[in-house]
Structure 1
Amino acid sequence: MTISATRVPRGPNVRLRTLLAEADYTLDALARAVNARGAQEGRHLSYDRSAVAHWLRGAAPKPPVPRYVTEVLGHRTGRCVTLTEAGFPDDGHPLPPDEDPTATLHRLAAYGTGELRTTAVRHLPLPSALVRPPTAAESAPAAPATALGARRAGAVRSHVRHCADGFDTFGGDYGRTALAAYAADTVLPWLRVEPGRRDRELLRETSRLAFLLGRMHTDSLLHGAAQQYHLAALRLAAEAGDAGAWAMVMSTLSAQAEELGHLALARQTAEAAAQCTGRLGSAQRAFVHAQLGVARALEGDGVGARRVLRAAEAQAREAAGGPGAFPTYHYTAYAYRVGVALWLLQDRGGAIGAWRLGLERCGATHRRAVALSHSRTAQALLQVGRLSEACRHWDALGRMREEVRAGIVLRAVDEARGALAPFAGYADAEVVLRRIGRAEQVR
């Protein structure tokens, strides 16, 4: 998707010019950064210095591009940059401060696709109150247990498990809007009492529901909405005193921040999650520590990264093969994180080996994780000059494209097409390009 139209000029944008100087960005550099940020959400942008010059004269690109501009400028300057500060109309949907998590879920469920795509992404570290692990003593007093509350919590648990299975098999676009509607229409009315009087078990299951919605929206490249779902899940888990769910959400927030290049947020959330793993099973602890390895490697802490990766490996060996309490993670998801960390640590062979081992151990229903692992393995193999092997993995990704419906997989297919374009004419590359060309027609 290319977004090129701009709004009517409103006079020179002095604020944007001031920010460009503060960030030490040229017009070309800002255009490239905005294009790269759009690619993270599956958008094909082709801005150049003339487009930025147009913005400086007072034109404003259509949403969500102004949000991309503020995010890359904020990342460059190390502080929060608002749309207003950048001289753009404030069309975003930031998370209201201290919003009740049930209100967040209700608000997001009412958003249309356009509003979901313009929801802002936070890139700075979270407030200290949000990253303090919850304890049973600090959580809200539990409401008296009732048979009705237990039945409601059980119904939510069953529904979330079913949707999580669909997510693992078919990707984030599967059932996403239906699950958001279920949360708003069925679950939230059960929680319409004062905080402190809510049923704790229902809070716990609603936290897992919000967490799954966050992962689904991340899969659909709706990162702003995904982050807000995750923050709502954090607050619900804290209110329920569920330290295990809180840690998994925090670790997933770290993975999202890492993907978007928000390194300080990735490290903060990964470290917080690792302090709160006592109630997690071995598989979940392995994932949390693998993500901490990624966050430390991103910031150049090789010693710290390898230390937690060793701990993660031991926990992965302890993990039982059967399903655990939701949210659980298959070995493929753990191996994917380990591979990312090892690649950042310049261990190319170890990274490729981790991704391949994850593929060998994948379950029949974990098609989404398999598709993403094929993509990452192919990219790595191409970078080390093993074109034929890379093509085999990209061919597998192309064959899965029609069954796994997610923006993140569409983006992976687009990346494969771009990576193989210089090799058009080579037999192996031609096979893949023909296959993903057909996949493009069903988008």
Structure 2
Amino acid sequence: MPPSRRRNENLRALLAEARWTQAALARTVNALAAEIDLDLNYDRTAVAHWLSGTRPAPPVPELIAEALSRRLGRSVSPAATGLAGEPSTPAGGRLPLSDLPVGSALTELCSMENDPARRAAARMVPYREAELARAAAGSADRGRVPAVPRGERDAGDDLGVVRLAVRFYSASFDAHGGRRARSALAVYLADDIAPLLRERESHQPRRGLLVEASRLSFLLARMYQDASVHGLAQRHFTTALRLAEESGDATARAVVLRGLSAQALALGHRRIALHAAEAAAATRASEGPARAFLLSQLAVAQAACGLHRVARESLDRAERALTTGERAGTAEPFTSYSAGSLEFQSADVLRYTGDLPAARTALANSLAHRSAGDHRGMALSHAQHAEILMGLGHVEEACASWNSFLDHYVQLRSGTADLATGRLRQLLTPFRKLPVANAVLHRAFAVTSLSQHS
């Protein structure tokens, strides 16, 4: 006769402390699973089973712990919920990377991508609100550190090679999305960059190499974010932040905080996204295009939190900073910021303030400034443009913009673009009796099916 399960009084007490119903916990766990591209459909009966002693399979205990941590405002471990024992050795996705030197942490984290035994577990790491809060708070007093001198050659010819890699992977992300070249970048960071950092630990200066390593880690984080693997993306952003902090380059650190803010905002964590954007914009060393890059995200986060007037002011400051940068004539990744990208951010601000006609104009300007090879930027701009047109009641114009979105979508492997096709179907299905809408729906089904099987 099998032993009877023991009721989970730990979880019951935590639910009572959180003042949550069983259904509320189930809904939150489902939402956290979506943040890591996992489709769960729990309801109150699943929670009842957990309370009766059933233990769900990983990563559900970690998702439950994260849900309760957010609700209670303190750290709750899976063991504290009664749903998992404390492991003697950390699982692949929960390595204490902060305890390792940054070069070793980089190797450990990036090697997961190409290790099938650890990759699946690593991709199921929950997105953690508290980790972003710590990153933003930890950078509050570090805004006055000078940037790396532009001519620095602290790693000899190696630094030039790494800068070429930054340009290559940045261009690949813009052209093809986050699901292409990601494994190659992870290998490059683990097998080339991390050993180079360890080799030069006792050599000073090496600031330029640390900055470029931070930029590559930032790009890898964005690739995971674009693939909707947000927990692992956050770990790469955190590693990029450590590299930037070790370099002493305030602007490099601010760029990573800006990325963390954008990720948090996309996931609906508006207040924490604002805190991170404020910490990024407080950096004194950034100017020109870098300043515009930071201020544009601050404007979007402020608008998302209902601070519409100050959001417009931040946007105006971003536009002035970009104008200064355009006169300077720089065009490298991380040292330039395009007018098309700023107009895209402007459209987001205007959507939050409810000014759809102005947002439509901003997106049209964004499209006019983007290069044809920027398939990801063009696709997402056309998709947002179409959504705004639908909100204004212009269905046929929206269909034309969605057709343009699909022209670029076929060049991409991007979870963000996949989500845009989902919104396309949701918004156009009620109009499927219109021939133009029906044609777009059929085309969207065809191209997404082809993308999933390519």
Tell me the TM-score normalised to structure 2 length. Answer: 0.84
Aligned-pair CA distance for 1:27: 3.4
Q: Distance in 1 between matches of 2:175 and 2:207?
A: 30
Q: How well do the aligned residues superpose, as a CA RMSD in angstroms?
A: 3.0
Equivalent residues of 1:133, 1:272 under 8 A apart = no
Partner of 2:141: 132
Q: CA deviation at 1:10?
A: 5.7
Match of residue 435 from structure 1: 443
Does residue 93 in structure 1 map to residue 94 in structure 2? yes
Post-superposition shift, 1:177? 0.8
Q: How many residues align?
A: 430
Q: Which amino acid aligns with 1:106?
A: T
SS in 2 for 1:85: helix
| Deviation per residue, 1:119-164 (Å, 9 max, x gap) | 232212115434432655899xx9xx878x2211111111121111
CA displacement, residues 153-197 of structure 1 (integer Å, 9 cap, x when unaligned): 111111121111111111111211111101111111111158563
| Map of 2:52 onto structure 1 | 57
Distance change >3 Å, CA 17–CA 398, structure 1 → 2? farther
Checking the alignment, whether the CA contact within 8 Å between 1:64 and 1:117 is kept in structure 2 is no
How much has 1:372 moved relative to structure 2? 1.7
What is the 5 A alignment of 1:394-409? 394-409=402-417
Query: 2:396, 2:14 → 1: CA distance?
Result: 46
Q: Is the partner of 2:80 in helix, strand or coil?
A: coil
**Is the CA contact 1:134–1:241 (under 8 Å) kept in the aligned structure 2?**
no
Tell me which amino acid in the other structure corresponds to 2:69.
G
**Alpha carbons of structure 1 residues 362 and 194: separation in structure 2 relative to 1, 3 Å:** closer
Aligned to 2:352: 344
Gapped regions of structure 1 (runs ≥ 5) = 1-7
Query: Which residue identity does 2:296 align to in structure 1?
Result: A
**Cα pair distance change 1:433/1:23, threshold 3 Å:** farther
Secondary structure of 1:320's match? helix
Give 2:252's match in structure 1, choosing from 245, 255, 267.
245
1:186-232: CA deviation from partner (whole Å, max 9, x where unpaired) = 11111115856352221122111111111111111221222122222
Residue 309 of structure 1: CA displacement? 1.5
1:7-34 Cα offsets, whole Å, 9 max, x none, are x996433333333334443333333333
Is 1:378 matched with 2:379? no
Q: Which moved more, 1:244-253 or 1:42-51?
A: 42-51
Q: Which amino acid aligns with 1:347?
A: D
Q: Which is further off, 389-398 or 207-216?
A: 389-398
What percentage of aligned pairs have identical amino acids?
Answer: 36
CA distance in 1, matches of 2:438, 2:5: 49
Closer, same or farther: CA 86–133 of 1 in aligned 2, 3 Å: same
From 314, 319, 332, the counterpart of 2:320: 314
Q: Which residue of 2 aligns with 1:300?
A: 306
Structure 1 residues 305 and 192 mapped into 2: Cα distance closer, same or farther (>3 Å)?
same
C-alpha spacing 1:303/1:195, structure 2 compared with 1 (3 Å): farther
Does the 8 A contact of 1:42 with 1:408 survive in 2? no
Counterpart for residue 115 of structure 2: none
What is the 5 A alignment of 1:353-432?
A: 353-432=361-440
Deviation for aligned residue 1:408: 1.8
Q: Structure 1 residues 324, 299: CA separation in 2 closer, same or farther (over 3 Å shift)?
A: same
> What CA deviation, in whole Å up to 9, does each residue of 1:319-368 have, x standing for no partner?
42865343143333322222222222222223332222211211122111
Aligned twin of 1:259: 266
2:107 is equivalent to residue 106 of structure 1 = yes
Unmatched segments (≥5 aa) in structure 2: 113-117
C-alpha spacing 1:391/1:56, structure 2 compared with 1 (3 Å): farther
TM superposition shift of 1:74: 3.5
Measured in 2, the distance between the counterparts of 1:440 and 1:24 equals 42
CA distance in 2, matches of 1:10, 1:384: 57
Cα deviation for residue 311 of structure 1 reads 0.9
Q: Which 10-residue stretch deviates more, 230-239 or 24-33?
A: 24-33
Distance 1:228 1:277 in 2: 26
Q: What SS does the aligned partner of 2:351 have?
A: helix
Partner of 2:11: 16
Distance 1:244 1:59 in 2: 49
The corresponding residue for 1:172 is 178
Query: Aligned partners of 2:49, 2:356: CA distance in 1, in Å?
Result: 43
Distance 1:175 1:400 in 2: 18
Structure 1 range deviating more: 212-221 or 21-30: 21-30
SS in 2 for 1:441: helix
TM-score by length of 1: 0.86
Partners of 1:419 and 1:21 in 2: how far apart?
Answer: 39
Flag the 1:241–1:20 CA change in 2: closer, same or farther, 3 A. same
Query: Kindly tell me: are residues 74 and 435 of structure 1, through their superposed partners in 2, closer, same or farther at Cα, counting changes over 3 Å?
Result: farther
User: For the residues of structure 2 that align with 1:360 and 1:18, how far apart are their CA atoms?
Assistant: 57
Alpha-carbon distance in structure 1 between the residues aligned to 2:429 and 2:30: 19
Q: State the partner residue of 1:273.
A: 280
* 2:255–2:294 Cα contact (<8 Å) kept: yes
Q: Which amino acid aligns with 2:110?
A: A
The worse-fitting range, judged by mean Cα deviation, of 89-98 and 217-226 is: 89-98
Letter in 2 for 1:16: L
Q: 1:3 maps to what in 2?
A: none
C-alpha distance in 1, partners of 2:392/2:81?
41
1:135–1:242 contact (8 Å) kept in structure 2: no
Is contact 2:36-2:231 (8 Å) kept? no
